[in-house]
A and B are shown apart, each in its own frame.
Chain A
Amino acid sequence: MRIDLKSLSIGAAVTAVLAAGAWMFMGAPAAGQSSGTPNAFPASFRAQRTVSGRPDLNGIWQAMTTANADVLDHDAYAGPYPAMMGVYGAWPGGQGIVEGNEIPYQPWAAEKAKENAAQRMVVRVTGDDSQNDTGDPELKCYRPGIPRANYMPFPFQIFQTDEQVMIVYEFKNAVRTIHLTDAYPEGPADSWMGWSNGTFDGESLVVDVKQFNPYTWFDRAGNFHSDGLHVVERFTPASPYHMQYEATIEDPKVFTRPWKVRFPLYRRMEPNVQLVDFNCVPFVEDMMYGNLDSE
Chain B
Amino acid sequence: MSGQSKRWTAVVATAAAGILVLWWSAAPVAKQNGQQNAPNPVIKATSDPAWTPSKTAWGHPDLQGIWNNGTYTSLERSLKLADKEFFTEEEAVAYYNDMAAADVDGRRDQLVHYDFTQYGLDKWQNGVKANLRTSVIYDPKNGRLPPMTPEAKARLSVPRPRGADIRSRGITERCITGYWGGLPMLTNSGGPGADAEHQILQTKDYVLIVSQSSNDNRIIPLDGRPHLSSRIPRWFGDARGRWDGDTLVIDTTNLGHTSFRGASPQMHLVERLTRVREDVLLYQFTIEDPATWTAPISGELPWVTSPGPMFEFACHETNYGLLNILKSQMAAAKRGGPTESRRRARTEGELPVGAR
Contact = CB atoms under 8 A, between A and B. Distances in A.
B148 interface: no
Contact of B223 (A5, A174, A176, A184): A5
Nearest to A166: B201
A220 B254 CA distance: 33
7 contacts: A5-B222, A12-B223, A52-B57, A127-B320, A157-B219, A281-B174, A293-B330
Interface string B213-228: 0011101011111101
Interface bracket on A: 35 or more
Given A142-B314, A187-B311, A161 B224 contact: no
Interface stretch (B20-28, B188-196, B204-212, B262-270): B204-212
B31 interface: no
Contact of A159 (B206, B235, B242): B206
Contacts of B58: 51
B288 to A, nearest CB: 18
Given A142-B316, A281-B175, A293-B164, 4 more contacts: A127-B323, A175-B312, A183-B308, A193-B312
B64 interface: yes
Nearest to B8: A188
Contacts of A276: 228, 232, 234
Interface string A137-167: 1001111000000000000010111001010
A272 B58 CA distance: 22
Given A51-B58, A142-B317, A277-B234, A285 B174 contact: yes
Interface string A252-295: 00000000000000000000101111010110011001101100
Interface residues of B, number: 51
Nearest to A3: B224
Given A9-B225, A127-B324, A274-B228, A159 B312 contact: no
A8 B174 contact: no
B201 to A, nearest CB: 5
Given A1-B242, A12-B223, A166-B208, A282 B176 contact: yes
Contacts of B164: 293
A231 to B, nearest CB: 15
A289 B224 contact: no
Given A184-B309, A277-B235, A161 B12 contact: no
B224 A279 contact: no
Contacts of B356: none
Nearest to A158: B203
Closest 10 CB pairs of A and B: A5-B224, A188-B8, A51-B57, A191-B312, A127-B323, A127-B320, A9-B223, A175-B215, A188-B12, A272-B225
Nearest to B321: A127
B310 to A, nearest CB: 6
B317 A161 contact: no
Interface of B: 8, 11-12, 57-58, 64, 164, 166-167, 174-177, 201-203, 205-206, 208, 210, 215-217, 219, 221-226, 228, 232, 234-235, 242, 257, 308-312, 314, 316-317, 320, 322-324, 326-327, 330
Nearest to A175: B215
A179 B199 CA distance: 14
Contacts of B242: 1-2, 5
Interface of A: 1-2, 4-6, 8-9, 12, 51-52, 58, 125-128, 137, 140-143, 157, 159-161, 164, 166, 168, 173-177, 179, 183-184, 187-189, 191-193, 215, 272, 274-277, 279, 281-282, 285-286, 289-290, 292-293
Contact of B317 (A5, A143, A282): A143
Contacts of B12: 188-189
A52 B202 CA distance: 14
Contacts of A142: 314, 316-317
A186 to B, nearest CB: 10
B234 to A, nearest CB: 6
A239 B202 CA distance: 24
A182 to B, nearest CB: 12
A166 B309 CA distance: 12
A164 B64 CA distance: 12
Contacts of B320: 127-128
Nearest to A168: B217
Contacts of B310: 175, 177
Contacts of A290: 166
Contacts of B210: 166, 168, 175
A290 B165 CA distance: 9
B250 to A, nearest CB: 14
Nearest to B202: A161
